[in-house]
Amino acid sequence: MFAAVDAPYGADLALLVLCAADFSPYVEETSPSTVVISIDGLTHLFGSPREIADAIARRAADVGLAVNIAIADNPDLAVHGARGLAGVTVMEPGREAGLPVALLDPCEEIALTLALWGIRTFGEFAALPEDGVAERLGEEGVRLQRLARGAGSRPLAPSNPAPPFAESIELEHPLVLLEPLAFLLGRLLHDLCARLESRGLAAHELKLSLSLEGAAPHERALRLPYPMRSAGTFLKLLSLDLEMHPPGAPVTAVALSAEAVNPRVVQHGLFIPLAPEPQKLELTLARIAKLVGEGNAGSPELMDTHRPRSFRVVRFGGSENRGQSTLSAVLPALRLFRPALRAKVEAPDGRPARVVADGVHGRVLDSAGPWRTSGDWWIKDAWARDEWDVALSDGALYLLYRDRYDGAWFVEGAYD
Amino acid sequence: MTRPHGGGRGRPLQDWSPAPRRTEYVELHARSAFSFLRAASLPEELAGAAAEMGFSAMALVDRDGLYGAPRFHFAAKKAEVRAHIGAEVTCTDGTVYPLLVRSRVGYRNLCHLITRMKLRAKKNEGAATREEIAEHAEGLVCLAGLDHDLPWLLDAFAPGDVYAEIQRHMDREEEARNQALVERARSLRVPLLATNGVCHATAAEREIFDVLTAVRNKTTLDAAGRLLARNSERHLKPAVEMARLFADHPDAIANTVELSSRLEFVLTELGYEFPKYQVPEGETMNSFLARRTDEGARRRYQPYHERARRQIERELALIGKLGLAGYFLIVWDLVQFCRNNGILAQGRGSAANSAVCYSLGITAVDPVGMDLLFERFLSEERGEWPDIDLDLPSGDQRERVIQYVYQRYGRRGAAMTANVITYRGRSAAREVGKVLGFPEDVLGRLSALARAWEWKDPQYTAERQFRDAGLDPANPRIRKFLELYQGVQDLPRHLGQHSGGMVICEGQLDSVVPLEPATMPGRVVVQWDKDDCADLGLVKVDLLGLGMMAVLEETLARIRESYHEEVDLAQLPPDDPETYSALQRADTIGMFQVESRAQQAVLPRMRPERFYDIVVQVGIIRPGPIVGKMVHPYLKRRQGREAAECLHPSLERVLRRTLGVPLFQEQLLRMAMIASGFTGGEAEDLRRAFSHKRSEAKMQEIEVRLRAGMERNSIRGPVQDTIVQAIASFALYGFPESHAASFALLAYASAYLKTHYLAAFTAAMLNNQPMGFYHPSTLIKDAQRHGLRVKPVDVAVSDWLCTLEMPALRLGLRYVRGLREEAGQAIVRRRPFASIDDLVHRVPELRKDELTKLAAVGALNALEAAGRRGAMWESARAIQPVGPLLDTARDEARAIPLRPMTPEERLRADYLGTGVTIGRHPMAWRRAEMNARNATAAAELHRMRNGRPVRVGGAVIVRQRPGTAHGFVFLSLEDETGIANIIVTPDVFEQYRLTLVGAPFLFIEGALQNVDGVVSVKASYIEALPAWGAEPVSHDFR
């Protein structure tokens, strides 16, 4: 005998599974809102099938789920009963006859044919001659008709859910310092990694949620460049991250979860120089990021835009797709001043004639320009500027530009 | 049109001050928006900007075509700028050659070159080879860049016809290329030429240019990166600025003026000739036309009275003087072709004003008898070709006539005119939204905003609309959207094909204008639209497909076949009482031009009694008379409730027949002629001035002339104002009387045929869907109410089309949804069938789903005694493939296990499977419920007192919210007895909006309005009746 439990669409499946698992270790997750268990052997514990069903219903009600339950000889019939009949039902023979055929979940073509035939219920479908159905709807039709007759005979397919890779702890006293917090995290990470290891999995994302006293929870997510499961590394990474982004109030609870994936297995090339150990590299990068600020460590990548000298910093090993420089190779190298030097420029006829900036001053001996660019006009960060290449009386060659929105002049760099 | 300004940070500072200097410069490389997404300004904007900068000339060089050339030419002419023409021609070597036309030979070569590369490629593709460019180089000037092979160009083009083109857009890399090019040019002694490679008229339009670039590359502005413009420098720049930019190459600037002076070609010298009509020895075209006209006139006018004779002489004299005889003969030839091939053809539009056209059989309305205005068709002053439009049966017959034109004048002697598809409303909103990167749901909301309903509340500003759609108008991106959306309005998007305009040419049309392939195979399109063709004097014949012509043609054939009678449309009894009675009752479903809700609401008050009443009826329900508030005065006068006074005694002759109310365009022109002393040609000018491309200045100028003329004729004070106002408000929308008369003929013919040959007419209507105002289900129910028996689809007897089984109508297989014509025709060819198995066996074309559909709609009932369900059961088995072994082992004569369909199931299957039902109307099944709720049947409403509260229920067959009705909504509810008309006020509409828009069946309470035989219910309460999942289809919002 089997009991099918059907919860309203959108209910918490995990809860439903938990609830069913209280009665039998063999739980089939038939769909996101339906589970089936075998109830053979439960009679001694709970009594008749109806009493078993009632017990399940009570248990579900305890956790806040309003469910429909049907008990039948085979899993399919139980599922159809639970989905089609409200409350608790023990499927007596013939009880299925009134169920709508849509519960059989037929393919579109068969559904359409049945509708055209005026077949609305299990009973009507079951009454059709079997060879007639076989001739017209084929093997699938026969299978569905058997189900409509309540004669399904498949075994239960119990699922074996992976335990959630999450740990949490409620604190008796709020924590103010990072050090005891790190100690706690270490413990949680140790358990988490042990569980990952036991399943042969690794984590490629860690999520930390710190409940705070009198403030919204402090959430951090640590996305790893590749899957790992070293508790030590995780702890260091989390500690560095927390140092950079400390919680704003005392911590009252800690929850940690990991997204588990298969670990990456890499065969190192024989002739390829050994790269630093990934864990170490990741840690080093995290330390550098802590020093120079996030977004300032990584490799530069040119952006696809006319905006002069725009690039972004991407994580190492991130994007392989490098932008191409459009500047031809004949240009001399340009040393950029970062940030560009604000300058005072005399430009009587629009052409710069004299330049004064921090460490740069002189008469303009020769100039080329303006080289004009503008763009991103549809966003706040629009730009429009004129660049000039100037030879100053100090003997050097500079790149000047003028912001065409506010008229300000800058020395952006010097040519070698 | 407004253009966006500045960017997210406001407007950039202006350039450093230029050193003023007198220089001459001609911009010789500018693209317009007719380069389709490769530039942002219309030719008129470029010409206007050129004039403002004081250019003496400018060249338009669009990509792979001369699409914008006519508009540029005329705009430049108006602005007193010389227009040079050219094109950027894509080459198979991956480069683009800007070519300028120097002479007429060059123009012809360019047209040939573009035609050749376009015609062999797919639409919007194609490139010329280097050999082809060399072959067509004579008379063309090439602007070479660094990518081009200069020695080869020097070899291919005539000496002096190659220039090295340098452009300066303040770009380092460009400058490096320029230096290389200058060096190379110097070494080969090629002169330099400065241009700015213009893509937009003003700097601000660069934003539109970027938007179009993103659209063309199917990306967003954020992702477009370096595909977008580097800066805003590709705009038209004044001579001083260009001179300053090229201060180091003064020769490059000077050469623009020198080259411009050598470009002697002007677009009006196209060398176009309308084909001559071949006449027999000893005849001229004029004499031949006179003879044909005389023959026709004697047939048409019996007796051939003096007035007609004088009019024809006058027309022939003018035709001869303007050298148009050939044109009339060619149209006559087309009409002859139609007549000889049994294709109905009737001239429409202003041609109906001509007695010569009437005599030649081109039109069917007697302009002399109806006193129509010939000047509306042809006048000496206008100096342009007259416009003759032929209405033909839509579909294959029209295609036959088009193919006849190709065959007669050669593939390159005739082509369809283009139709430029521009950015408007919804398309503009969607594409601009897309490039701004709005998500799909926002795009949907934006495009829905653009034009959800025809009628717009004037208070409903764009800002409010945005807010209502849940979009924040303060958001910079949304604001930018609005700006750009307005900016792209009217810019060309791509080239389509005009529905029927054909241009014909003596000799090669591709010497006159480039041709390109149309989407439809076997069709060729010119690169200009019909206005451009008309402006440049290319003669065009419009061959328009009209569904009703096809219906009339088929009706006559079916009458011949099934009633064994011969009906000639030209000889219909003119005053058939039954026909007029149907019109007076507004019993007009299916009748041409008089079947709409609005027409039906006027007919009982109009009570047409003779042909001219139908002409008025056709002309009166138009935006002109409605907006001009002419409808009610006319109807009041018609009903004798108001005196039929004319505005002024002198206008008596013009306005008498419309009871003193001006209704037609011709009347306005005549009013101008009589009251202000305008000549016929001047009056026609007036019409054009007030037409779609109206210009304020021109209108004012004409108003001054109108008033001055009236002063001379002592028409003053309020009468003068009324006349001026009538002309001004009306000239735009007024319907030509000649056009109304041509349509009225078809309306009368359709009314006559429906009244006397209902079966044949209904069959023809059903066979020519989609057309007309009502869905086939309504046509069938209406025919049934008129006593026609309609039989169901049946594979044993139905043809593909609906046929007559006198006195009944048999639905054709084409009404089975999802049945392909190939399978349907195979059924017709291979019957009779002994059983469903036999059908399946002998019609292998039939697919499983098709067989099921036939069974579901009862089309297999003749082969299966157990009805539709039995047929389904059997067909489901029969269609399954079985091997030879089991072929004989199939179950024989077993009882059908399925229960028969209930009437509701049959109704549902009918609507789902054919869209129509010949059984009882869905409302008939609800009558008991309706009676219980005290509802009145539609047919009973007219017996009830005006003002009484009533309830009605029915299927919605039409929902309308016309632009002229100030937000009122009109519904037609059909039940088994007829159709009830419902009026919904804007307030009630707002209250029940969702129900009204979505529910297929409605129950409505309201006050009955029953005045002068016009019956409607003014709704106050609206409720949706439960739907059945299948119902008649409503025709919404037209």
Q: What is the pTM of this model?
A: 0.74
Per-residue CA distances from B529 to B258, B388, B535 (Å): 33, 16, 10
Beta-carbon contacts of B1024 under 8 Å, excluding residues fewer than 6 positions away, are B995, B998, B999, B1001, B1002, B1003
- B229/A375 Cβ within 8 A: yes
Which strands, in side-by-side order, build the sheet including B492-504? B346-348, B388-393, B540-546, B492-504, B414-422, B524-529, B515-517
Q: How many CB pairs under 8 A join A and B?
A: 126
A45 pLDDT band, cuts 50/70/90, is confident
pLDDT at residue A319 tops 80: no
Do B1033 and B915 meet the contact criterion of CB atoms below 8 Å apart?
A: yes
For A389, name the nearest residue in chain B, comparing CA atoms only.
Answer: B172
Per-residue CA distances from B158 to B102, B145, B920, B921 (Å): 11, 17, 81, 79
A370 touches chain B (CB under 8 A): yes
Do B548 and B348 meet the contact criterion of CB atoms below 8 Å apart?
A: no
The pLDDT value recorded for residue B450 is 61
How far is it, in rounded angstroms, from Cα B478 to Cα B449? 13
Do B160 and B124 meet the contact criterion of CB atoms below 8 Å apart?
A: no
Both structure tokens of A85? 């009949």
> What distance lies between CA B298 and its chain's CA centroid?
37
How far is it, in rounded angstroms, from Cα A189 to Cα B70? 77
A108 touches chain B (CB under 8 A): no
- Chain A residues with CB-CB distance to B220 below 8 A: none
- Option in A118, A377, A405 nearest B207 (CB): A377
A351 touches chain B (CB under 8 A): yes
The pLDDT value recorded for residue B473 is 74
pLDDT at residue A10 tops 90: no
Beta-carbon contacts of B587 under 8 Å, excluding residues fewer than 6 positions away, are none
How far is it, in rounded angstroms, from Cα A316 to Cα A300? 9
How far is it, in rounded angstroms, from Cα B817 to Cα B525? 34
The pLDDT value recorded for residue B713 is 86
Do B188 and B404 meet the contact criterion of CB atoms below 8 Å apart?
A: no
How far is it, in rounded angstroms, from Cα B314 to Cα B377? 13
Average pLDDT, 10 consecutive residues per value, chain B (1038 residues) = 41 44 84 93 94 93 94 92 95 93 95 92 86 95 93 93 94 92 94 95 94 94 92 94 91 94 90 82 92 92 89 92 87 92 86 90 87 80 76 88 88 86 82 88 74 47 69 79 85 83 84 87 86 84 89 93 89 90 93 89 90 90 75 87 83 86 83 84 74 63 86 86 77 76 92 95 93 90 94 94 93 94 94 90 91 92 86 87 58 74 88 89 90 93 92 91 79 92 90 83 93 90 81 61
DSSP for B577-614 reads HHHHHHHHTT--TT-TTT-SHHHHHHHHHH---SHHHH
- Chain B residues with CB-CB distance to A132 below 8 A: 873, 877, 891, 894, 897
How far is it, in rounded angstroms, from Cα B141 to Cα B165? 11
pLDDT at residue A70 tops 90: yes
- B876/A113 Cβ within 8 A: yes
- B7/A374 Cβ within 8 A: yes
- Option in A119, A347, A371 nearest B16 (CB): A347
CA-based radius of gyration for chain B: 33
How far is it, in rounded angstroms, from Cα B544 to Cα B39? 33
Residue scoring higher pLDDT (A227 or B886): A227
- Chain A residues with CB-CB distance to B852 below 8 A: 113, 116
Both structure tokens of B316? 């022939």
Let me know how many helices (H) and strands (E) chain A has, helices first.
10, 17
Beta-carbon contacts of B310 under 8 Å, excluding residues fewer than 6 positions away, are none
For B853, name the nearest residue in chain A, comparing CA atoms only.
Answer: A116
For B10, name the nearest residue in chain A, comparing CA atoms only.
Answer: A405
Q: What is the 3-state secondary structure (H, E, C) of B666-681?
A: HHHHHHHHHHHCCCHH
- Option in A129, A375, A384 nearest B897 (CB): A129
For B6, name the nearest residue in chain A, comparing CA atoms only.
Answer: A377
**Within 13 Å of residue A118, how many CA atoms lie on the same side as its CB?**
20
Q: ipTM beyond 0.90?
A: no
Secondary element (H or E) of residue A282:
helix A278-292
Q: What is the 3-state secondary structure (H, E, C) of B13-52?
A: CCCCCCCCCCCCCCEEEECCHHHCCCCCCCHHHHHHHHHH
Mutate to test the interface with A, among B175, B212, B231 (most CBs of A within 10 A): B231
Please tell me what DSSP assigns to residue B795: T
Beta strands (DSSP E) in A276-333 are: 299-302, 311-314
- Chain B residues with CB-CB distance to A127 below 8 A: 897
Secondary element (H or E) of residue A33:
none
- Chain B residues with CB-CB distance to A349 below 8 A: 16-17, 19
Both structure tokens of B708? 């001055």
Both structure tokens of B479? 């604001």
- B897/A132 Cβ within 8 A: yes
- A404/B8 Cβ within 8 A: no
The pLDDT value recorded for residue B979 is 92
For A137, name the nearest residue in chain B, comparing CA atoms only.
Answer: B876
Both structure tokens of B630? 């002419």
- Chain B residues with CB-CB distance to A137 below 8 A: 876
Mutate to test the interface with A, among B16, B179, B432 (most CBs of A within 10 A): B16
- Chain B residues with CB-CB distance to A370 below 8 A: 170
Both structure tokens of B613? 């009443």
Q: Are strands B140-144 and B162-166 parallel, antiparallel or unpaired?
A: parallel
How far is it, in rounded angstroms, from Cα B500 to Cα B402? 9
- Option in A128, A129, A380 nearest B8 (CB): A380
Per-residue CA distances from A151 to A77, A135, B533 (Å): 8, 20, 77
Owner of token pair 């106050």 = B1020
Angle at A308 between CA A303 and CA A314, to 5 degrees: 30
How far is it, in rounded angstroms, from Cα B538 to Cα B53? 32
Secondary element (H or E) of residue B155:
helix B150-156
How far is it, in rounded angstroms, from Cα B414 to Cα B408? 9
